[in-house]
Amino acid sequence: MTRPLSHIRVLDLTRVLAGPWAAQNLADLGAEVIKIERPGTGDDTRAWGPPWLLDREGRETRESAYYLSVNRGKKSVTLDLSRPEGQRIARELAAKSDVVIENYKVGTLARYGLGYADLRAVNPGIVYCSVTGFGQDGPFAARPGYDFIFQGMGGLMSITGERDGAPGGGPQKVGIAITDVLTGMYASLAVTAALTHREKSGEGQYIDMALLDTIVAFGANQILSYWCSGQIPPRFGNAHANIVPYEAFATRDGHIILAVGNDGQYAAFCEIAGRPELAEDARFRTNPDRVRNREILVPIVQEIMRTRTKQEWIAALEAAGVPCGPINNYAEVFENEQVRHRGLKVDIPHPAGVVSTVASPMRFSATPVEYRTSPPLLGQHTREILNGLLGIADAEIEQLRSQGIV
């Protein structure tokens, strides 16, 4: 079945997370993604284990879970971009591609003759996307960038974590490299937008994606609150700055999330809790009242929630249309009947056995995402691409291999 980007070829010069995430999105949409990796070692994340993929006999392979998480649907070609012959081959690949994505330090690929100006000269319609920490210009442009740093620098950790003075209070990073993932998402959106522009105008263009820009943009909801109020947003732990009660509460046998989003839901909660008078209390009648008086209301709700079990609360709240939910670990996530129904775990055949992958959340009625190929072995497609796409003879490929260029 034809997929949205089945007519697009992507030259993927990225490694680790943000760039590979963007390229995997494009692969999910049907693009042919040619991932360039260093001969012998490949993407840095190939060595980021354990855990490793297990083969058919249950033995550890050298395929790391980290690498497998963001490289499905791609073709791996080994190529030494630091050497002139490798650079020549990369330019030939770019001339036959629609998109280039790279996440080298600013200026590195230009020194290799692989910058945007170089590749535009051989392919005027190329869409060239650079992913860096701080962008292509400015006083920090030359600095390396790491997700953890940006979570702090971009303000996210100032609003993440328990409140100062509370047990465990203080700044806290998010449990995944969210800046990398978000940058990858924005990058793939930007690439598809640039491709749409090219289809109308015939023009390629350059895209400058920065992790710092992304994490600051991600905070827009809280930033606007700051700009409108002049008050720097504090950390609220699991609570919500603008809605009450909206946080995690301890029950008799664990925790659940209670997410009361409006006054009607609050009244329904009070009825279920056997405390209807709390809905009529002038201190709590509307959400602004509850926000102003959270220090009074939340301890009352905490006491109420401890009277029943998780499942008792969830059953009662769901029946009344009050938003709530469990706090699952990842084993419990994939035991959930809705997660199973949505098919969020996908098993793909792999040369070593089977690799499980998390399904794309993009659902199309006419051009669904397909999971045809697993994350590739290092250099698995080198001969296929060099021979089939560039017409390089087998003898020359073997010579390149003996020289360590591929």
Strand partners, 275: none
The two structure tokens encoding residue 68:
């497998």
- Long-range CB contacts (within 8 A, 24+) of 152-158: 153/212, 153/215, 154/179, 154/212, 154/215, 154/216, 154/218, 154/219, 155/215, 155/216, 155/219, 155/222, 155/223, 156/215, 156/218, 156/219, 158/232, 158/233, 158/235
Range list of H helices, 144-210: 147-153, 178-201
Please indicate whether residue 253 is annotated as part of the active site.
Answer: no
Helix (H, G, I), strand (E, B) or coil at 14: coil
The CA R_g of the chain, rounded to the nearest whole Å, is 25
Residue type for position 119: L
Catalytic pick from 12, 43, 147, 180? 180
Edge to edge, the sheet with strand 324-326 lists: 246-250, 255-259, 324-326
The rounded distance, in Å, linking the Cα atoms of 158 and 215 is 12
Please name the residue that has the structure tokens 């059953």: 315
Q: What are the backbone angles phi and psi of residue 169, rounded to the nearest 5°?
A: -65, 150
Q: What are the backbone angles phi and psi of residue 34, rounded to the nearest 5°?
A: -100, 110
Active site residues: 180
